[in-house]
C-alpha cells in the first residue's frame, strides 16, 4: 500500500455542494476561457473555502499548516488545485525545508546518496503530518485534488497512510541528476512524487489517467 491512495469522498464532504460552488465560480468566466483557449483555473483560496463549507468544517492555517480544513467529522483535508497538461499536472508541494534538511541536501546529491537525501525530507513530512494529527486530534488526513483541463474540472480524494512513509524507497536520480524519484508514495499509474534539489522540496504531480479513475468525480 502506498502513502497516498485514492479513496471515495469522506462522508463528511458533500461533493454536490462542491459542484455548486465550483459552477458559480466558473460560469461567469466561461467566455474568457473559451476566447483565450486557456485551461480552467481554480484559485487555491476558493477551493479551501468550498471544502470547508461542503464539509461543515473550518479553515485553519491559511497555507501555514499541512492541512487547510478540519471537517465536522474531525478529518484534515488539504485542498490542492492543479492544471492537467498533456500527460501530467503541474506540481503540488508536500514538504519544503531550506534550513535544516536543505543544508544537507546538496552534499547528498553531490555524493549520490539518493536514499539519504530522500529520507531527510520524508522524515520531515512524517513529523509534520503526525504532529498535525496529534495536535488537532484528527482522525484521518486527506488531500482533495481539484484537477482542471481546458473544458472540465474533476476532483479526487487521496488518503494519507502515515505508517507507510517509512517504507518509501528511492527509485534513483532522474536523468539530469537534479531530482530523485520516490517509490511507494503513490501508484505510478496515476501520479509521481519527486524530491527536487534546487527547490528543496518534495512535489506531487498527477497523471492524465487520474481523470478516469473510479473515484474521480467531474464537477464541471
pLDDT in tens, 138-164: 999 999 999 999 999 999 999 999 999
C-alpha distances out from residue 189 to 1, 24, 57, 71, 195, Å: 14, 32, 32, 29, 19
Number of domains making up the chain: 1
Q: What is the pTM of this model?
A: 0.95
Q: Are 2 and 187 in contact (CB under 8 A)?
A: yes
62 pLDDT above the threshold of 80: no
Average pLDDT, the chain: 95
Residue 86 is predicted with a pLDDT of 87
Residue 217 is predicted with a pLDDT of 98
Rg of the chain, C-alpha, whole Å: 18
- Specify which residues 6 forms β-bridges with: 158
Lowest mean per-residue pLDDT among 17-26, 43-52, 95-104:
95-104
pLDDT, tens digit, for every residue of 186-219? 999 999 999 999 999 999 999 999 999 999 999 9
Residue 61 is predicted with a pLDDT of 72
Q: Are 177 and 165 in contact (CB under 8 A)?
A: no
Q: Are 20 and 48 in contact (CB under 8 A)?
A: no
Mean pLDDT of 43-55: 97
Q: Rounded to a whole number, what is the largest CA-CA distance in the chain?
A: 53
Torsion of CA 131, 136, 139, 143, to 10 degrees: -70
What percent of the chain clears pLDDT 90, i.e. is strictly above it?
91
Q: Determine the structural domain holding residue 194 and report its residue range.
A: 4-218
Amino acid at each position: 500500500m502506498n502513502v497516498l491512495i485514492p479513496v471515495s469522498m469522506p462522508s463528511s464532504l458533500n461533493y454536490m455542494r462542491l459542484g455548486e460552488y465550483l459552477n458559480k465560480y466558473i460560469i461567469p468566466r466561461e467566455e474568457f476561457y473559451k476566447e483565450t483557449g486557456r485551461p480552467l483555473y481554480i484559485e487555491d483560496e476558493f477551493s479551501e473555502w468550498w471544502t470547508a463549507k461542503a464539509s461543515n468544517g473550518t479553515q485553519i492555517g491559511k497555507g501555514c499548516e499541512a492541512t487547510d480544513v478540519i471537517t465536522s467529522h474531525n478529518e484534515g483535508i488539504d485542498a490542492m488545485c492543479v492544471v492537467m497538461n498533456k500527460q501530467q499536472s503541474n506540481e503540488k508541494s508536500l514538504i519544503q525545508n531550506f534550513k535544516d534538511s536543505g543544508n544537507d541536501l546538496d552534499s547528498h546529491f553531490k555524493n549520490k546518496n539518493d536514499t539519504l537525501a530522500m529520507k531527510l525530507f520524508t522524515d520531515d513530512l512524517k513529523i509534520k503530518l503526525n504532529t498535525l494529527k496529534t495536535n488537532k486530534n484528527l482522525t484521518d488526513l486527506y488531500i482533495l485534488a481539484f484537477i482542471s483541463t481546458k473544458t472540465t474540472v474533476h476532483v479526487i480524494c487521496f488518503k494519507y497512510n502515515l505508517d507507510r512513509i517509512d517504507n518509501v524507497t528511492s527509485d534513483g536520480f532522474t536523468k539530469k541528476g537534479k531530482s530523485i524519484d520516490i517509490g511507494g508514495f503513490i501508484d505510478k499509474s496515476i501520479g509521481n512524487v519527486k524530491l527536487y534539489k534546487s527547490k528543496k522540496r518534495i512535489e506531487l504531480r498527477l497523471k492524465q489517467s487520474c481523470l478516469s479513475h473510479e473515484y474521480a468525480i467531474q464537477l464541471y
